[in-house]
Each structure stands twice: as structure tokens, then as C-alpha cells.
Amino acid sequence: MSKFIASPATTLSGNLKVPGDKSISHRSIMLGSLAKGVTKVAGFLEGEDALSTLKAFQAMGVKIERNGDNVTIHGVGINGLKKPEKPLDLGNSGTSIRLMSGILAAQAFDCELVGDESLSKRPMGRVIDPLTAMGAVIKSNDGKPPLKITGGQTLKAINYDLPVASAQVKSCVLLAGLYAQGTTCVTEPAPTRDHTERMLKGLGYEVNVANSQMCLTGGGELTATQIQVPSDISSSAFFMVAAAIAPKADITLTGVNVNPTRTGVIDILKLMGADLTLSNQREIGGELLADIRVQSSVLKGINIPQALVPLAIDEFPAVFIAASCAQGETVLTGARELRVKESDRIQVMADGLDILGIENQVLEDGIKIQGGTFKKPTAIIESHHDHRISMAFAVASLRCNHPIEINGVDNVMTSFPNFVELANSAGMDIVEV
């Protein structure tokens, strides 16, 4: 187990290139493997989560070559996967296990999906239920991994109303729908990231999107293509907040994914008064990119609009740090989903803010944070092995007078392997020990 010691720093500057988008990296491996032909991926995230997906498809007979962040996938077609010799270990990756369940529910072979201690505690009923309704046979540990999926089932299309806005569940059902008899439709209660729909279209598969419903008909084929993975906005969020709260800051994040289903963090920070501007907006491979410049800002507390919550669900640990440095109170509600991430992110962040001397009140589906000053002279934070908690509190060091010690930072490798290196290049002072 490793830890960060994040010491105070006052100045941030430079042009930063954050690694590739995790969501798109996962999907490029999955859909590239199911396509006919050779798919070439540039900008692939070399984090442990995305590599778990890559290794799983290699274990199912897909030839995948990797040279740094360039990946070549020799697709086997929609029905070309082979039975793995042993359980597929997906590490810490909730995206992998949930999306792959949709694909594997329709295969001719049995398989088992396992993960690390953290993943083994995460709820999978949200994907088991709709897949079972489609005809899948899945055994779990009381709704949690490992998942044992019985092959040879014939799936039938369903119309599914998502009980909670979740891109992972939506994607799982749509991926199962590739194999189902008939037309599968998913209706979501609020917009969620749409990378699956965009990439399916990019690989030549028709997806009909109307208002809040996505439909596709099973039995088609995917055709190989070239995929450019933009920088991950979830990882970029730590630097957006860092620049906004630092006493002296002027940074530009280049080539960031600004897909409209992911930009909640930008909207929230702007509402708080962040000096944040987008430039050089362009579209590559169906995804929108932009350069994001952020300068030191005077932030104010806000009531976070509920419509923005699903569009910023992974970025809230960083937003909580921004709220801690803002003038006045910030209130988040409608974010119960945060309690079933890699950790209970509401409670774990609240515990850390308590240690730093920030007044807060935990709500069932959110939190109230009173902006103030990080004033505890000695701070030891438990991240509960949650990568986003670890990075959020590292960013808090920019407004501290004393170092922060953050325990359990090993899983930062899952999403942002060069976080410390990039942060220090911009002017932060983080040591991993």
C-alpha cells in the first residue's frame, strides 16, 4: 500500500496533456474486439482499469497489440469470442464488469467475472436484473461479484426504463441488445454519457436516439475503424479545481473530451465563479474536444442543479474540494449514486473534510459543505483505496499550510498513472512513498 505526501504549493502553470478518456478506452477494446477487421486506437489510457478490459478480451482469443498508447485490435466479429481458460479478473473496474456482462450474457460459453476486494463489494443487481429479463442466466454473491454467467442462452429484446441514470447500466443493456432477438430500447431518467452510442455508430451499427430513449436491433455487424481517444475530462477535473483554488494559477488542458454528456463539472465550476474558458473546439471520431484554460478564481458556494448531477457524477470528489475553498455554502442533492462507487464517496470525502477542518453535513443523497480554510496542522486522510478520493485531497494541498498525508493511493494507477508526475510538472509538490 502506498501513500501521497502532498505539500503546500502556491503556483500552477503550463500546458498539460491529461491521459486518454477511461470510458472511451474501455469501449474501444470491447467494440473493436467485436468488429470485423482491424481497429486502431490512438491515445488509449494505459491505466489498470482499461488494461483489465484489454487483458480480458485477449483471454477470449482476441489478438490485441499495444505500443504505448497506440493499440491495434484484430476484431473477431460479433460471435467470434472464445471461452477463457480461467475466470476473467477485472481488478477494480466497475465499467469492465458491468459492460462486459451484457456482452458475455449472450455467448455460447460459460464464464466467470471476478475483481479485487473493492469491486467485490459493488452492487451488480442493476445489470443482473435487466439481463435476466432478456433471458440471461447469472449467479452472483448476493448481487455482488463474482458473477457466473451461463452460456448458450437466447436473449430477447426488452424495453427497459433505467431506475437510476447510469451510463454503465444503459451500455450493458445495449451491448446485450446486439445479440438479442428484436429491438432493445433503454429509456433514461436523465442524460448520461453517450460514448457507447457514439462508438457503435462509428463502427457502423445503427442506434436510434430520440429524446431520452436509445434503441438498437440485434443481429447486425460492427465494422473496424480508427479511434482517437481524447483526454479524460474526469482526470482533467482535478487540474481544473487545482487551478481555480491555487493562489496563482494559469494552466491550459489540451485536447480534453467535452462531450455534452460529460461537461457537468465545467458547468458547475463556472456557476461557482471559476475563471474557465474553452477554445479550439473540434470533433474527432464523433467525440468533441477542446482546450480548457483555468486561472486562479474567487469561488462562491452554490446549490448544484440536479440536472448537472449525472453529467458530473465521477467529478464530485474534486468539486467537493472546490466547495471547501468557496465563499459560502455548497449543497449537493440527488447524488445517491456516489455511495456505490469505489467507496462511499459522500461519506469518505466528508470524513476527510472533517479532518481538514471543513464544516459539512452528510445527507442521504448528497452533502452540504461550508466553505472555509484548511486549518488542521497535521492531516492524515484515508482514501479507502479510491483513486478519485486520493487525487482530490492531493489537490487540497494547494490551500493548506501543512503537508497532507493520504493513505491507500495505489488505485490512482487505475485511471491516471502519471498523475503525480503531471501535477509536479505544473508546480504541485506530491511525493509517493
Mean pLDDT for all residues in the chain: 96
Question: Are 367 and 344 contacting, i.e. CB atoms less than 8 angstroms apart?
Answer: no
Q: Is the model's pLDDT at 297 over the cut of 90?
A: yes
Q: How confident is the model at residue 377 (pLDDT cuts 50, 70, 90)?
A: confident
State the pLDDT at residue 375: 84
Strand partners, 292: 253, 278
Q: Residues 269-285: what's their mean pLDDT?
A: 95
Q: How confident is the model at residue 350 (pLDDT cuts 50, 70, 90)?
A: very high
Dihedral angle sign, alpha carbons of residues 143, 392, 267, 254? negative
State the pLDDT at residue 285: 76
What are the b/e assignments for 122-155, b being 16+ CB within 10 Å?
A: bbbebbbebbeebbbebebeeebbbbbbeeebeb
Q: Is the model's pLDDT at 208 over the cut of 80?
A: yes
314 is catalytic: yes
Q: How confident is the model at residue 119 (pLDDT cuts 50, 70, 90)?
A: very high
Question: Are 40 and 71 contacting, i.e. CB atoms less than 8 angstroms apart?
Answer: yes
Q: Is the model's pLDDT at 376 over the cut of 90?
A: no
Q: Is the model's pLDDT at 161 over the cut of 80?
A: yes
Q: Is the model's pLDDT at 340 over the cut of 90?
A: no
Q: Closest Cα partner for 86 from 63, 124, 56, 48?
A: 56
State the pLDDT at residue 49: 94
* pLDDT per position as a tens digit, 209-265: 998 999 999 999 999 999 999 999 999 999 999 999 999 999 999 999 999 999 999
State the pLDDT at residue 367: 98
Q: Is the model's pLDDT at 1 over the cut of 80?
A: no
Amino acid at 52: S
Q: Residues 374-391: what's their mean pLDDT?
A: 92
| Maximum Cα interatomic distance, the chain, rounded to a whole number of Å | 62
Q: Residues 289-301: what's their mean pLDDT?
A: 98
Annotated active-site residue in 116, 194, 314, 386:
314
- Joined together, the cell numbers standing for residue 424 give 509536479
What share of the chain in percent tops pLDDT 90? 96
Alpha helices in 134-205 (DSSP H): 167-177, 195-202
| Beta strands 213-217; 226-228: pairing state | unpaired
Q: Residues 129-155: what's their mean pLDDT?
A: 98
Q: How confident is the model at residue 284 (pLDDT cuts 50, 70, 90)?
A: confident
Burial of 207 (0-12, 13-18, 19+ CB in 10 A): middle
Q: Residues 402-418: what's their mean pLDDT?
A: 94
Q: Residues 357-375: what's their mean pLDDT?
A: 96
- Between 233-245 and 387-396, two packed helices, what is the crossing angle to 10 degrees? 20
Q: Long-range contacts: 262-265, Cβ < 8 Å, 24+?
A: 262/193, 262/233, 262/234, 262/311, 263/233, 263/311, 264/308, 264/309, 264/310, 264/311, 264/312, 264/313, 264/315, 265/233, 265/234, 265/237, 265/240, 265/311, 265/312, 265/315, 265/318, 265/319
Q: How confident is the model at residue 48 (pLDDT cuts 50, 70, 90)?
A: very high
Helix (H, G, I), strand (E, B) or coil at 126: helix
Whole-angstrom distance, CA of residue 145 vs CA of residue 284: 36
Whole-angstrom distance, CA of residue 395 vs CA of residue 412: 14
- Joined together, the cell numbers standing for residue 5 give 505526501
| Beta strands 36-42; 226-228: pairing state | parallel
Q: Residues 43-60: what's their mean pLDDT?
A: 96
Instruction: Walk me through the domains of the chain, giving residue ranges and CATH numbers.
Output: 3-19+230-432 (3.65.10.10), 22-228 (3.65.10.10)
Question: Are 428 and 397 contacting, i.e. CB atoms less than 8 angstroms apart?
Answer: yes
Whole-angstrom distance, CA of residue 427 vs CA of residue 74: 41
Q: Residues 375-393: what's their mean pLDDT?
A: 92
Q: How confident is the model at residue 433 (pLDDT cuts 50, 70, 90)?
A: very high
Helix (H, G, I), strand (E, B) or coil at 294: strand
Q: How confident is the model at residue 369 (pLDDT cuts 50, 70, 90)?
A: very high
Whole-angstrom distance, CA of residue 11 vs CA of residue 295: 11
Half-sphere exposure for 133 (CA within 13 Å, toward CB): 14
pTM, full prediction: 0.89
State the pLDDT at residue 138: 98
Give CA angle at 346 (345, 347), nearest 5°: 95
